[in-house]
Chain A
Amino acid sequence: MDFTISRHKDIDTSPKTAMRSKSRFRRKDVFGWLLILPSLILFTFYIWEPLLENIRLSFCSAKLYTVTGFAGLDNYKAVIGDVDFMAAFRNTFSYTFWSLVIGFLVPIIMAVLISETVHGKSLFRVGVYFPNIMPTLATIWVWSYFFMPGDTGVLNILLGKLGIAPSQWLNNAHFTIPLIIITMTWKSAGSTALIYMANISGISPDLYEAATIDGASIWQRVAHITVPSIFSIARTMLILQVISVFQIMYEPMIFKNGGPGNASISLMMLMYRYLTRDYNVPKAAALSVLVSIFLVVLSIVYMSLTRDKEDKR
């Protein structure tokens, strides 16, 4: 395990602690490690080992879960050569694009607006957060009936009351991805908005007052005080959003099973297909390694950005 190595490496001792007897420290360290060991075993079993094992599997040939030999890059070649892969690859970027267009600004606008209310503020907070606690599956089923084409689809009923002709919704391949993103935004925007609201309410009132004395209008205050104040958190949320949308899987799977045609299939959904339809474990592993690589790159970008933020403070 890690700690046997790290024990020797670790030289972080403050003057105060160095004065106490060494044996007592050992005991305290051993106790500490014993306490966290069960949790570390769980992390190893559920997260760390599967990640490494996944990489190994992706280079092997296997019959179901039993490894039968070394396959080199064959699995990767098979994945990249797959017609569905190119569609899924393009779509995943399309999902990311639309989620940035639709999903990024909505929570910011929501947060700015709710921050300005004094009546029913807690109702608004609770209301917009509510979709977040609804189970994903239930929301997907509900939205699939909202998007039902024909007169009895819920959105078509509502549009009909406004005198607008019924739409095909998800059956129109051009709209499938943006509409799926709208449902995801509906579900998650409220919780993101709460994070922005916490930041907005942390802005010192003195800033606004000073700006008012200098003659700044309300719009100028928004542009020059509110927006810069949430800029760094917005950057973080942006990257977290990309990371999460890149793994989109259930929504396209249940709404249209990746269709119409291949119009909404995503990378993670393709992985699920390799696993449960083709029973091709190494191919599924290879695809998830490819996705992970991209996400690790994003994570590194995220880490370096947050480090910048800390340096500035």
Chain B
Amino acid sequence: MKDMKINNRKRPVFFNKYAEKKDGVIRSYDIKSPSVRAWAIIITLICFFMAIVSLFPALWLFLASFKDIKEFTREVSIIPKEFDWERMAATWKAFKFTKFYTNSLIHVLGAMVCAVLFNGLLAYGFAILKPRGYGIPLALVLWSMMIPGTAGIVALFRNINNVGLNHSFVPLWFAYGANAFYVILFKQFFEELPGELLEAARLDGCGIFRIFTDIVLPLSRPIIMVVAIFAITGAWSDFLLPYLVLNGTDKTTVMVKLFSFKDTPTDAVSVLRASFFAIIPPTIIFALFQKQITDSAATGAVKG
């Protein structure tokens, strides 16, 4: 009963905010009707439930990582008995995760640089320089977005062996320099740059190079960041090519380690702790750049 009263008092505030609602089906004038009010509450609750379902597995992973194997296999519970950081640290040391983290970091940073540099240059050529005949490579790039990445993996691995780059980070870095999706993101951005500005600079006698460094580059900071973030989270999660190229070397990344659990029997708690270590960096990145990530996910992917 007490709850109801608080609810009642809060109700006008809850619905007042609907006056500012600019999009969607329910309009500000609908909210006067009691049935619409009920629906507004139900919809908010459903959305809340969806958010919980989306976040629960990660939360559970965090909680379950604190259990020891006995508790994990015998106890019917979600929340661990105690939060013992020592156990976590022990698993970290036993698996030598510092090493995997360092390797993943090397992989991710190189991939990020390649992703921004090569896809950016290609898109700059397609969107602004437009050298004669650029339509043909452009069409090929667009087509390669439709063809599965894994389709050519057999021959690609052979290529990497042929040029003697097996067991090295180099082929993994450059792999991110050939990404049709990133090219399209860059291209769309460059095409929306103010043409007058570039034209004015040209009339003032700026060379192509000066235009790029003084005008295009500073304006492109947002898109560079978006592609860098995508490349970082993508490279961190990547494991098929890294597995084929790096497995059995001392360059094993976090994901290659996680992938290898498939073939080597490991106790459940260790797998969970390793998985937990693996989701920390992307979670931090997401927490920092959530707005950029969700905004570009909403607009970028469609137009291509």
Interface residues of A (CB under 8 A from B): 2-3, 5-7, 9-10, 12, 25, 28-33, 35-36, 38-40, 42-43, 45-51, 53-54, 57, 65, 110, 112-120, 123-139, 141-143, 145-146, 151-152, 154, 157, 160, 186, 190-191, 194-195, 197-201, 203, 205, 208-209, 212, 218, 221-222, 225-226, 233, 236, 243, 246-247, 249-250, 253-254, 257, 268, 271, 275, 281, 284-285, 288-289, 291-292, 295-296, 299, 302-303
Contact = CB atoms under 8 A, between A and B. Distances in A.
Interface in B3-45: 14, 17-18, 20-27, 29-30, 36, 39-40, 43-44
A113 B286 CA distance: 23
A157 B78 contact: yes
Contacts of B262: 253-254, 257
A198 B298 CA distance: 6
Contact of B255 (A31, A116, A137): A137
B25 A208 contact: yes
B133 A10 contact: yes
A190 B130 contact: no
B101 interface: no
Which 3 A-B residue pairings sit nearest by Cβ, starting from the closest? Answer: A6-B133, A32-B131, A50-B152
A287 to B, nearest CB: 9
Chain B residues touching A, majority SS: helix
Nearest to A254: B262
A129 B297 contact: yes
Chain A residues touching B, majority SS: helix
Contacts of A212: 27, 29-30
B21 to A, nearest CB: 5
B278 A117 contact: no
A43 B152 CA distance: 12
Given A32-B134, A110-B50, 11 more contacts: A38-B121, A39-B178, A113-B47, A128-B50, A128-B54, A130-B54, A138-B275, A142-B60, A201-B24, A212-B27, A218-B26
Contacts of A43: 122, 137, 140-141, 144, 178
A285 to B, nearest CB: 5
Given A35-B125, A120-B47, A191 B297 contact: yes
Nearest to B160: A45
Contacts of B293: 129, 133
Nearest to A29: B131
Contact of A197 (B46, B75, B155, B298): B298
A115 B47 CA distance: 10
A130 B55 CA distance: 7
B151 interface: yes
A5 B137 CA distance: 12
Contacts of B156: 46, 50
Taking each of B152, B159, B180, which has the highest tally of chain A beta carbons within 10 Å of its own beta carbon? B152
A33 B131 contact: yes
Interface residues of B, number: 109
Contacts of A201: 22-24
8 contacts: A39-B118, A39-B122, A113-B46, A115-B24, A117-B40, A120-B51, A130-B286, A281-B158
A198 B144 CA distance: 26
Contacts of B26: 116, 218
Nearest to B229: A133
A154 to B, nearest CB: 6
B269 to A, nearest CB: 10
B1 interface: no
A289 to B, nearest CB: 8
Given A46-B156, A128-B54, A222-B25, A65 B147 contact: no
Contacts of B294: 125-126, 129, 194
B25 A141 contact: no
Contact of A10 (B132, B279, B297): B132
Interface stretch (B88-96, B188-196, B213-221, B233-241): B233-241
B164 interface: no
A264 to B, nearest CB: 14
B271 interface: yes
Taking each of B23, B55, B118, which has the highest tally of chain A beta carbons within 10 Å of its own beta carbon? B23
A137 B258 contact: yes
Contacts of A112: 25
Given A253-B262, A281-B154, A127 B55 contact: yes
B106 interface: no
A234 to B, nearest CB: 11
Contact of B237 (A53, A114, A136, A285): A136
Nearest to B285: A133
A43 B180 CA distance: 9
A142 B61 contact: yes
B146 A299 contact: yes
B278 A138 contact: yes
A142 B30 CA distance: 43
Contacts of B252: none
Contacts of B255: 135, 137
Contact of B17 (A35, A119, A275, A285): A119
A288 B22 CA distance: 48
Given A133-B293, A142-B57, A36 B258 contact: no
Contact of A291 (B126, B148, B259, B272): B148
A141 B76 CA distance: 19
